[in-house]
Structure 1
């Protein structure tokens, strides 16, 4: 035999006589039958071989689960240092004796470790612990796969005899039995543990329903004990389920098929539960009748949660009405009905509570929610049996009226709705609240034929109702559509104008009432569009409605503040007034943004200190009606910078004169409507009253709209501070203004 061979050169014919005595064989087999631990059995096999072959040192290594490495298992008489060093070594064609045997699945005999090619990289390790030869036999499983290796080491260079080879072959066979028995037992133990620990109820019955086995979850689910449930009758447990489902179940499983579905179960205490059930029919070897494996889970909580999620996805949690997505789904259903019935029609009423924000702001959202709940109940009281009511969000409700488009019928309904909505609300806090309704009505198919169009039409009608004073309703008409299209076109043009810098400022001088000298100018925005200058009253409302007013206002301030710096450079003692839209004071955040915008612009365009004392911001009278604390703080911050605050168009709003004492204001600008008829004694008295009040509050007074000698004489008698109007100056372009100022 070639001392360097790594392949088995011996005839692998069956062993005719055992190299291991029957007594010793029996001892090992007894250990296997007795389910001794694998480690104990493998150590016993190694010792058995070592006793048989004096001077040998046995070693059993197991192949890792990935089939790539050898792991130590039993080598009681080999150095622990050596065992640890080879633990986890990768198998390969030239990896010692055991690594090569596992790799090829064949016996590998190495008579001299010191000279063999397989040990070139590893020889120092065995030689250092006195191991000089190694014969390795692969441990093969019943399926032909390598499970590990059995090796015999000697402390001398040594070749095996036939008896030696029979011995290691039988040792490998015993080791194979031990390893496979252990893995089979472990698998059974794992299966048994899984069976017991599974949260799913598992039951195995014979064809007659006799319980063969069941896990604890099964008894827990049914609320029974093993002694109480020797037989399983699915007709009783799941008898409350659909008869159709049960018939189908038994048809399937009696035919040997699997069935899966949801059933309604009854526990031992008669409580019901929802079950997700899977039944598998099978036949054991030699059996003629089917046995059944029942697996089911209690999904009661899951079903309840799913139902809640389903409900919340379609209904408003506050009012329990249909929510926005589900209402839109209902509208789509109504529209689709027209495909089956050409005469199908319905109406859509969009409703909004008037001044509901004031209720929320003054009483809080909790009481506001109480109002919304009561509103929903009142509307439901006016509905027909097929009508569908939904809450779209906030204080916005919508009503679908199937098969009804008659204007008279709908008008009566909305009038009835407004009548019940406008009645007093008694809240839990004993607060008494009133609100009213604005509504917009669109009809299918005469106004629109799609969901989006129908909503848009109703929204336009609602907007029209609010624009005309609220507390009323409007049907959609073509004029509204034309107005909406014109507004949309105007809004798009405004966006492009902002991007293309198509705006410019004109300035109207404000003169001293006594000397008629220019002391101030008001910046007025103009839009050069389609070859003409567009006045603010033609586009400001569209800018406010679209939110573009914020960006537009910022542009005006930047340009006006730059012009003010030009005045300063020319040593002109002229102030600058800038109009600020109410929308820039709409929220606390916008007020903060306005202040930051002004200070940041000043810092950017003037590093030496901006002349804020020459800057005036003009706000509208309607601002005085807003929530006051933060607004007063914002105006106070502006005044601390040196900026003056003017109330523009005073007298045209709804504010109380008492608000003037509460707000940080410097100037009152009396609207031109008060001096239109100078012979009107009432108007003259009002102007005198405003001037007197302003004097008492230490406020300056400017009169707007002076266009004639009579008007000038009239306001001069009232001892106002400043005058603005075409009598003196029309709005001027900056170049023209600078010419006037330098000559003035």
Structure 2
């Protein structure tokens, strides 16, 4: 058996007392003495006057200053603390000067002095010296002090101050009857400023000073500041603020004294006491091992982690080292046998999937090595964190998005490989430079100012921006910037992630062109033309000029389509569009309104004669026949209605309506004519008035009903739900189409009530459907943009769902594209609240409005509904087919579902299925049904009926 060396007697230390063990705890009992002295001084002031109060208050500070010098000078041999020595010597000379200040105070018999200025001179000089002493003392944390030289310097400074105070009378610091001079007050504030800076320096000293000593120093300086503030307030030298200031000074000196006593006397003894428990208190397993590898002694943590230590002289290798390594191969055991120091070494424990850090230090007692101390630390978390950091680094290097990291001064400090791939700049090209190196020059300074204002406000910004590559090419990117803050709060870094969205922009531009231009004639479509018209109306309002809208309709075009076919009809429309465009000025705008209707916008005309001349040119442009290579030429005529802004309307809707009315009047008076709008053409307004009146009573009269058009999964042919459609039958008006009464319902303010009625009716039916079908049946309900202006809309929806006992998945809300153009925070919040309840949000009639990828990406859209106008000709018009394909591809790429409206033929359905569509509705499957018809259809539904062989 290996020989044991028992050295426990040599290592044992006396346990620390509870008081010693808690030296870091601030003891408020330290204030008892200065509080007691304050009480005595107050009694002296009350009974014997301010002069004796002042003398005793200063005497205390003088005694404390001398004691500080005596203590630090006597203990410096042991503490080697030049910082304290510097303070002690400095406060000794401050005590000397305070003595002179006390002896020269007005009223004392030692000097023949008639006024307070000499004493105040001593005071100001002394306080300046004290402030400078405090702010310069930290220099001696790390620098040596030539103590004897400093004593001489202090004596010389004291002599100079003495002479200056006695013989230099200016500037006056106090004027009898008036109080302190501006010089005295400014001097006090300068002293306060120096002491405040000193406090900040001590606050930021870190661990150079113990927390307790630092607290003493900071409290002392705080009392000094309080004293100096008090000394700026008195008018009479015996005043209350002067008394308060001396009491603050008493506390200040007492705390400095405590700092020195704590460091030179109390702390060393506490350290000796605490050292006795340090071995047992180490939070890591520490063992003493002899040269043969047997454990001789262990601390509490080792015994806790390794219960087998209670056995007799266990082997350190068997107990604490990895079992997979033999003792001969173990690097720790090799160092133990040679009694050599081992720098921290990491060993893995595969069985437990942990890592420990081992270090060895020989134990020297006298000239002999009695063993070796092994310390082991579980660093599993650190290793795992390191692995996670490595993983984060790998992710950083392999992200497809470009990443830039800057410091708080916007200097680039890191970029990833994707940054180089996108911009062409290598890391060495940009590190240390500003991200502004990528600026394209396309954005105004206001753009960047707005961006940084947002970052300062929210710590982040996201948007699209144009940047420039190293080769000079400009590209669009989606950029996200985030500010990184430290635990203390200040920004330390900025991180920017960006993606080259050139391809997305190209797709968006193509889709935008398809959306805003007629695919047949390449003219602006109705949507774009109305935008241009509204802009022209705004310009007319600002300038006071007029604008004219010409509504053009081909005569008898329907006969051409019906008799000669759509191909001939399309050729006619293309030819007409070219002729009309060539007949107009370059600044005039022409668009296709739809079908055989065109609109022309005229601005900057001087009189109606110019409008007449343009109208005649347009009609004349169609006088020549349209030639075909395989059939006889065709003659096409045209009727034009004219409405002038602001005479016939000051908004696009009114102008179009009036121009349309004028066009029908032109047709009524003969073909190839034009007609200006007159008030006699407003018969439509009468019907609108009747509709408004009847609408207000329609809900209470139960005139509305809801029908349901099935929505079919085109892969399984199962009914998955239905779209709820409102119908209105009025006794006076008969059946009024939704497109006629819904806009009026919005304008008269009953759309919210009508919407709630439809929602409640539809949800009540879903409960019935789900009992009859194995599918998760849902209902789609159309919501008007006006309903989203109601801040309680999301709560209303959830109330109806709860009332119907249905989850959010049972409801799909259909909105129009125009809703998303309004960046209203209420609308955005409402959409997000609805989506958070798992309610599907669908864009209805997609492709007929402002189709843009940005809102599909930025809003919680889950379904895109393709408008039936595109489905109608999808098998015969290449443009419609391309658009439908693009919409499906785009929606699926963004993780959205697709619904096709208006499926009426097998050919349309087949095309939609081939392009991987999801859901369809239309008369091919079913017309809209009332609730009883829908249930009957649902129960008798046979998917096999629609499957092709």
Normalising by the residue count of structure 1, what TM-score does the alignment of the two structures yield?
A: 0.38
Going by fraction, where is helix more abundant, 1 or 2?
2
Q: Choose 1 or 2 for highest CA Rg.
A: 1
Normalising by the residue count of structure 2, what TM-score does the alignment of the two structures yield?
A: 0.31
